[in-house]
Chains A and B, each alone.
Chain A
Amino acid sequence: MTTLIEYLQARIKTVITVCFVLLAVVAGGSLLIDTHHAHTWAEQHVPFFWSLFGFAAAAVIIGVARWFGQSGIQAPTDFYDRSHSTLCEEEE
């Protein structure tokens, strides 16, 4: 396992190229597949629908999580110790 990973890491550019080729094959394959069993109009008529959906969904989730974290949800690790020491000073 370790040897295989190191072998691939040594050829990272080739690995990336192969991944891009695979992505292209998968996206291209979606144009050839029978979509009449798909549940919605968008799946049936928008080319590369799930490719676009996957990319957009991942980008949106990363964006929302980052915005959410930076808006104050991500706090220093001693946040509760400090905030408790204000309200519950005797206990601390």
Chain B
Amino acid sequence: MTSSFIHPSVLLIAGALLLPFIRGPLRKPYLFFVPLLALCVVVLNTTLTGNFGVVPFLDWQLVLGRVDKLSTIFALIMALMAVIGTLYGLQVDRAGEHMAAWFYAAGSLGAIYSGDYLSLFLFWEMMAFASVFLVWFRRGPQSLRVGYRYLLIHTIGGIILLAGILLRYQAVGNITFDLLDVAHPELYTWLIMIGFGLNAAMVPLHSWLPEAYSEASFNGAVFLCAFTTKTAVYTLARSCAGMDILVVLGVIMALYGVIYAVMENDIRKLLAWSIVSQVGYMVAGIGIGTDMAINGAVAHAVVHILYKSLLFMGTGSVLYMTGKTKFTELGGLYAKMPATFFFTLIGCLSISAAPFFAAYASKSMIITAGFEQHLNWASWLLMFGATGTFMYNGLKLPYFLFFGSNNCSKETWAKAGDPSWNMLIAMTLGATLCILVGTAPGFLYALLPYAVDYNPHTAYHLLETLQLLGFAALAFFLLKKYVEPVDRICLDIDWLYRQAGCGFLWLIKHPLQWCDTAWGEAYRAVGLSSLMTLSRFWSWFDWHAIDGVVDGLARSVRALGGKVRVLQSGQIQITLYYAFSLAAALLVTFIFYQLL
């Protein structure tokens, strides 16, 4: 590996492997130090450009460190997220949970820096297998099943991706991870896009996300909300920019997520639906494919990680303190958790693209790019979705969680309170960055892959946003009773594969089991008796034929031995007599033979 490039994944993996041996008072400083070191390394790598860590493997060149503007901005936000996430979960005692989170972050950074499909695939799978532990560590009644479903879906996605990679290698003859020919898509183009799209939670391959993220541990969800979908956005931006179908899929995601989030009763599942919706904006931006659209998608991915992690930290604090996640079991918490309310509100305003908050600087770039490409239908629908985002995330979440009717039990109310200092510091960090990006997006724009010619702080944009948010809020408060959370679950496409799974189980347990039993009975009735008859014949044959020959031979040898034994009397003169007689007989025979 070239000395100038240090791979942050190596640090995170080494740090994770050493973590179980670091105990006592050193544990917390160590937990903070390792991701911080990884962030410093990523910052140092920003000074580089080109391919590093080129490793020959069989006939290929693996590129473990491709550094350019696209990989750099994603690596920076992922490394920053590893720091914030670990800081937030500092009091988690289980070393395994931190190890899983670091392996997960290492997989994401590895995939981002990969310049070839093989190393990308390895890091891709590392992400899937590490992240499932963040679901299992919740140790809830459903965690195990949800984790297995998550793993199953991601394994299927991995196989689809691998099939695409292999077909592409067969067609093109190299494994370079670069922009595909999206104007003339081949089968492998579709397979690779679907493989990446599954991780981006593209509808209808999205059901794993709301299910798994709402079931993860309070700390695990903070990591989950950042890495998988945004790494997928990176890979799509790298390989499928300008692919028209992504505009359609992105718009569907944006709207589908909104409708489900409006119906949702679980606060973290609402946020998970919100990820589907927000990633839809990024996917649509990638599909539009112009410089501004790609910039918008990347900028939105970065700010999304900031505000979504802040929101998951806020709701995670509620889960951590009260043990509850349903609106119908919470409410009125502002009085008990004022700091959590404050930070969550900043996250809510940021996702709603309120003026001077994070998404204000990014979401409008994608929508403007759509209008500029004359994709007016897409931009209008994305604006429509943006109104929904404000309604469920900017209004419904804070209103029904921190205000509204107080549905807390006495026990829940007694347990409610702001969380520990490290969680508050992590939220402060996230909130500060959200406001910073929203008010002065210049430093973010400087990191984007293409030169930016866009200013979000115009009078028209300000008034447009204020009107949109203000009158959406008016509609919300007038129609509030129709969005009142109810204690029900929302059926989704996962219903289909759950039913398919149960159908498969039924098929195994009934028709196939019946066939197996019938075969066993037939074997016992026909096969076994035939086999016993045959065995008896072979037993008889063995006893009388094989053993007869062997035993007969043995008996002959024994008889001969008895006769020879008579010759060995132990007297030397008799032995000499036999020996000389035999020699004489042999000599006579030889001479006689020669004479003939």
Contacts and interface: CB of A to CB of B under 8 A. Distances in A.
B259 interface: yes
Interface stretch (B95-103, B214-222, B463-471): B463-471
Contact of B467 (A40, A48, A91): A48
A62 B391 contact: yes
Contacts of B479: 58-59, 62
Interface in B424-482: 458-460, 463-464, 466-476, 479, 482
Of A33, A64, A87, chain B has the most CB atoms within 10 Å of the CB of A87
Contacts, number: 153
Nearest to B367: A39
B498 A2 contact: no
B379 interface: yes
Number of contact residues on A: which range applies?
A: 35 or more
Given A39-B376, A50-B468, A57-B388, 19 more contacts: A2-B334, A22-B470, A34-B459, A37-B460, A51-B471, A54-B475, A57-B472, A58-B471, A58-B476, A60-B384, A61-B259, A61-B391, A73-B263, A74-B490, A76-B488, A77-B488, A79-B491, A87-B505, A88-B502
Chain B CB count within 10 A is highest, among A22, A26, A77, A83, for: A26
B505 A88 contact: yes
A68 B263 contact: yes
Nearest to A90: B509
Contacts of B487: 77
Nearest to A53: B468
B507 to A, nearest CB: 10
A26 B486 CA distance: 34
B258 interface: yes
Interface string A34-52: 1101111001000011111
Interface of B: 258-259, 262-263, 334-335, 338-339, 341-342, 368, 371-372, 376, 379, 383-384, 387-388, 391, 458-460, 463-464, 466-476, 479, 482-483, 486-492, 498-499, 502-503, 505-506, 509
A10 interface: no
Interface of A: 1-2, 5, 22-23, 26-27, 29-30, 33-35, 37-40, 43, 48-55, 57-66, 68-69, 72-77, 79-80, 83-84, 87-88, 90-91
Contacts of A91: 505
A74 B486 contact: yes
Contact of B262 (A33, A39, A65): A65
B498 A62 contact: no
Contacts of B503: 87
